[in-house]
Structure 1
Amino acid sequence: MRRLTAAAGIAVALLALTACRSNPSVAAYVGDESFTEAKVDQLTEQAAKVQQTAQPGDTAAIRTEVVQLLIYNALCKRIAAEKGIKLPAVAAGPSEYETIRQESQTCVQALPLDQMKPSDEDLRKVYDNGVEIGVLDPKQSFDQIKPQLAGDPQVAGAIAVYRVLTDAAKSADVTVNPRYRPLDLPVLSAGERGAVLSAPFGQYEPGVSNS
């Protein structure tokens, strides 16, 4: 009976934890930090003004970008804290949205990403995605183009960002409201053709209502 009682207690605790990370008024969780839909509303309005976007259909895309930014900024700060990196102060921008953008850029620049060597698996992701969106020639095999990819500082930097973000997202148990799925942050882009490498952000809670 004691074992059953203990098991029941664990089950209740797990259910409570799940419920805490399934609040429909929350856009995303990063560790103990949460970002509400109200905050996303506020930042989306600011972002639309910065981007000079007035089309109603663009709102959903801007909201997703805002959620990406909030998670990206929070994860970068966590990484810096874990590595004992003191981030430089950032002057407040014209809006909170612009301040957060600047914080994120300053943070990622402070991380020792140049110390990370791209793995063959990482390079393969770039190659496969590059071929898929048409920026790499499929007639050239992965082995043929691998040295070029490995020697490109932009590719190496993007892979480093991808690796630290994905590792940090798992460690922080990032959870995203289903309305923003799939939530991927492009870290290496080919302009209008799309992303060559994207960092996936967080698990999705199927029990969260989108209403």
Structure 2
Amino acid sequence: MRARRVIAAASVAALGVLSLAACGKSAPDVAAYVGDTTYSLERVDEIYSDVQAKFGDAVRQEASQASATPSPEQLRSAVTRQDVVNLLVSLELGKRVAAAKNLQVPDEVTPQQLEQNLRVPASTEYAKLWGEWIDLLQVLNQQLPPADLSDDSMMAVYQALAKTGAIQGGMSVADVRRAFGDGGFVRAATALSTALEEEATKADVSINPRYRAIGVPSVVSTGQSLVFYSLPYINEAGPVTDISTPEPLRSSDAPDAEGTPQDDEGTAS
């Protein structure tokens, strides 16, 4: 698949919030349970550290060619541990939805096609997981019937995009409707969110509360580039809330203005 086909086909988002009932899964070293699949904090750290190390190496190499010295901030990828958990959980749920519908998912999108816009080296596992995720999203978008275009669903997508700076903030519902046209990608987003929420309930999903809200990794095309963002569908009231020995909260874990941990290493509670 050529890069422009990725851009044309990957206009994906998701929305909605899912509160899950407690199920007793609460190991403090587990980031998330999805059915019989477990994602440990160590696994999350490995993927996150891989991104940071390879991103830093790439920045240093580019800077050396220009005889420049990058700052510590420039050496740090914008990818967070929350992003990693979002991707792992959503990918597992999406695979379950596809399997239940007997859908075949082709291996078409490569990390190299996403590297520039994702701003993550293609050699990272994170970029490879994103390629797998977009392959899956394209199949699900073709098979799931589009949902109704409500003001709530449209504004949820708009607000998530506005947070990335990809679209002007403070727009009215009427303005957003004009900007989004027929809202096809929002309809697809709503259908996808509903399918994942239903599957999350079936799979007895449990999320460690340090990852306050699980969001669907989402991407939309501006016509010239891809914008990556996420929308929550499993909130912090999820079932992994009975961890008995919380870790002390560090200053770097304080919530930002949106109530999201700034470096995704918040405490379990």
Q: TM-score w.r.t. structure 2 length? A: 0.55
Shift of 1:64: 0.6
Q: Which residue of 2 aligns with 1:99?
A: 128
SS in 2 for 1:180: coil
Separation (CA, whole Å) in 1 of partners of 2:170 and 2:199: 29
Separation (CA, whole Å) in 2 of partners of 1:109 and 1:124: 24
Separation (CA, whole Å) in 2 of partners of 1:148 and 1:60: 27
Assess, with a 3 A threshold, how the Cα gap between structure 1 residues 183 and 139 changes in structure 2: closer, same or farther: closer
Q: Which 5+ residue runs of structure 1 have no aligned equivalent? A: 1-14
Separation (CA, whole Å) in 2 of partners of 1:163 and 1:85: 18
Separation (CA, whole Å) in 2 of partners of 1:106 and 1:128: 24
Shift of 1:107: 1.0
Shift of 1:85: 0.8
The alignment of Structure 1 onto Structure 2 pairs a total of residues equal to: 188
Identity across matched positions, percent: 23
Assess, with a 3 A threshold, how the Cα gap between structure 1 residues 118 and 188 changes in structure 2: closer, same or farther: farther
Assess, with a 3 A threshold, how the Cα gap between structure 1 residues 131 and 71 changes in structure 2: closer, same or farther: closer
Q: Which residue of 2 aligns with 1:176?
A: 207
Q: TM-score w.r.t. structure 1 length? A: 0.68
Q: Which 5+ residue runs of structure 2 have no aligned equivalent? A: 1-21, 60-71, 112-121, 163-167, 223-227, 248-269
Corresponding letter in the other structure for 2:240? E
Decide which structure has greater helix share. Answer: 1
- Structure number with greater Rg is 1
Q: How does 1:89-128 map to 2 (within 5 A)?
A: 89=107, 94-113=123-142, 115-119=144-148, 121=150, 123-127=151-155
Once the two structures are superposed, residues 109-160 of structure 1 have per-residue CA deviations (whole angstroms, 9 ceiling, x without a partner) of 1124465232255x43323774896757437499xx4x98682222222222
Separation (CA, whole Å) in 2 of partners of 1:155 and 1:188: 12
Larger RCO, structure (CA 8 Å, separation 6 or more): 2
SS in 2 for 1:100: helix
Select which of 181, 184, 191 maps to 1:153: 184
Separation (CA, whole Å) in 1 of partners of 2:48 and 2:229: 26
